[in-house]
Amino acid sequence: MHSFILKRIKESFSCFLDGYKNLVLRKTIGYTFRMSLNQSKFREIVYHFLFARPDSTDEVELLVKLLMHFHKTTKKNVLEAFSRYEKILPEVGKIDEAIQKTSKEYDSERITKAEKVAIELCAYEMLYDAEIPEKVAIAEAIRLTKKYGSKEGAGYVNAIMDTLYHQREAVS
């Protein structure tokens, strides 16, 4: 069971899991954690949850530990991000439909997972979270795609989200 979980997480977070076995084997984690978390880091943790899509309690617990280690933050912060992830997940189907209407070229089967997750997170923030300015959501989606995907993918995400933004603005 643990090997399956580790394999999924390793695939999801290969960029920072060089020492994942050491983290799992440690009984205590002796790292200094930041108490506060800025919105960009918070959004990045939500992005990681969306990317990994943990299925079981064991996967969630392991992912929480890994994200605490990677982002050097508290369990409380990671669990708050998990709570946001749980709000986004039921809306993914509606988000995909909204994006599908936005672009004829959008094919959820052809884009990379890094791009798809950034689009889902950004679209959720644009459609369902009035506290986050839409331009900020788009800029963050581009940043996350550049960091975990590619520059070309970031251009694609920008085009899709900008089109959605202008369509929403025209309706308002």
Domains in the chain, CATH or no CATH each: 2-86 (no CATH), 89-171 (1.10.940.10)
DSSP labels for 103-161?
-SS--TTTS-HHHHHHHHHHHHHHHH-TTS-HHHHHHHHHHHHHHHS-HHHHHHHHHHH
Distances (CA, A) of 120 to 25, 26, 45: 33, 34, 14
pTM, two decimal places: 0.78
Q: What is the pLDDT along the chain (172 residues), one digit of tens a residue?
A: 556 555 555 555 554 444 444 444 333 333 334 456 899 999 999 999 999 999 999 999 999 999 999 999 999 999 999 999 999 999 999 988 888 877 766 666 678 999 999 999 999 999 999 899 999 999 999 999 999 998 888 998 999 999 989 888 877 6
Helix axes 39-52, 2-12, angle to 10 degrees: 130
The pLDDT value recorded for residue 157 is 92
Q: What is the pLDDT of residue 101?
A: 78
Tell me the sheet residues that pair with 34: 73
Question: In this structure, are residues 79 and 64 in contact, taking their beta carbons and an 8 Å threshold?
Answer: yes
List CB contacts of 63: < 8 A, sequence separation 6 or more: 9, 48, 49, 52, 54
Question: What pLDDT is stored for residue 13 in this prediction?
Answer: 57
pLDDT at residue 152, rounded to an integer? 87
